[in-house]
Chain A
Amino acid sequence: MSADRQQRTIRCMVAKVGLDGHDRGAHVIARAFRDAGFEVVYSGLHRAPEEVVQAAVQEDVDVLGVSILSGAHNTLIPKIIEGLREYDAFDDTLLLVGGVIPEEDAEHLKELGVAEVFGPGTSIQKTIEFIEEHAPDR
């Protein structure tokens, strides 16, 4: 019995890719996630897809939330997906995208394997509930 005292905590990474400026939004999200009991690795601004992938693999996060405002999602997100696959980490990482993404692009990203796309109006609470429901059970 004593050998089974597990301490499972949902680990997330909040990453900003692309060139857009400030990271206030990412900070707000990171703190909200923390208050929901998640462990949030925050990796800073202006990350290249390879960096995000490497960090997500090393930190072994359950959830990778990519915030992207620069409009380059159609090139950057597939690169992240490809990178995760290379490490064999794609299947048990819940990949979320946040930002201003046109409807048809969002559909396309979901076909590629993004679990959900959250637009600018999404409440953080809704995002948290989504994660709690869908975080991979490893």
Chain B
Amino acid sequence: MSTGDVVPVSEGLLLERESEDSYDAALPNSLLLSNNKARRDRIVSRVGQLVVLIVIFGSWQLLAQTKVIDPSFVSEPSQFFPSFWHGILSGSLLDLLGRTLFETFAGFALSCVLGLLGGYAMAEFKVVDSIARPFMTGFNSIPRIALAPLFVLWFGLGSLSRVVLIVSLSFFIVAFNTYAGLQGVHRDHLLLARALGATRAERFFKFVLPSAAPAIFAGLQLALTYAFLGAVVGEMLTGSAGLGGYMALEMGTFNTTGFFGALVLLIIVALVVSVAMRAVEHRMLRWRAAELHGTQA
């Protein structure tokens, strides 16, 4: 780099500047600098996460191998990672996963449709809200997992009982978030809609719905998490199909290696889904990022 003034900028990073009259160049440079800093932060956190993973599985392996902890209870990484990998390659784990994901998304889709409609109806019509609310709150306070055996009795051992369980969990999340979002419109915006002579539909689609979008999206994300949970737990309780059923089965025969192998897949899928949701949210709600992080144009 050229010789010149060295201007210290945040956290010991240095910004070089050729001479006084190229001062204008300092602006793009400082933006570049913050980009570099962001990239550096990202690398640091990735490396840190890797270190944590290595420490966890390393000590797990060590403790199991030296029999400090009985490996028949906790298996060991050198066993269950190959078991996971083999399950992927042979397709057996993927088949199980397919069933679980089918139930998850079927239940989630149903919860979305019902929850969005329910939340909208409650926000739009006071009567609906006042009649439905006590029942909603009451039902929502029941630990739904406890109802799983009942759903099995009513809807059988197949996927339907899991879908119902998921809807019983996720519907409320979507409905309440949608309601809250639709209620949270800024009164200045409603006044503007009125002053501009917006029709009912325009008021809803141009003012109310966009302002509710972040809350609705947060609800959908949480609902999907619960849908996945509902599917796996439902399968475990009936011990029949899907990843959950397989894990329950392996547990029943004390095959902890098989159990942890499936668990690895479960965690990876959950991570992928949440990253995907976050990416979709980021794309759809770009303005939200501008609002939260306040980047100046």
Whether A associates with B in a native complex is no
B positions within 8 Å CB-CB of A:
none
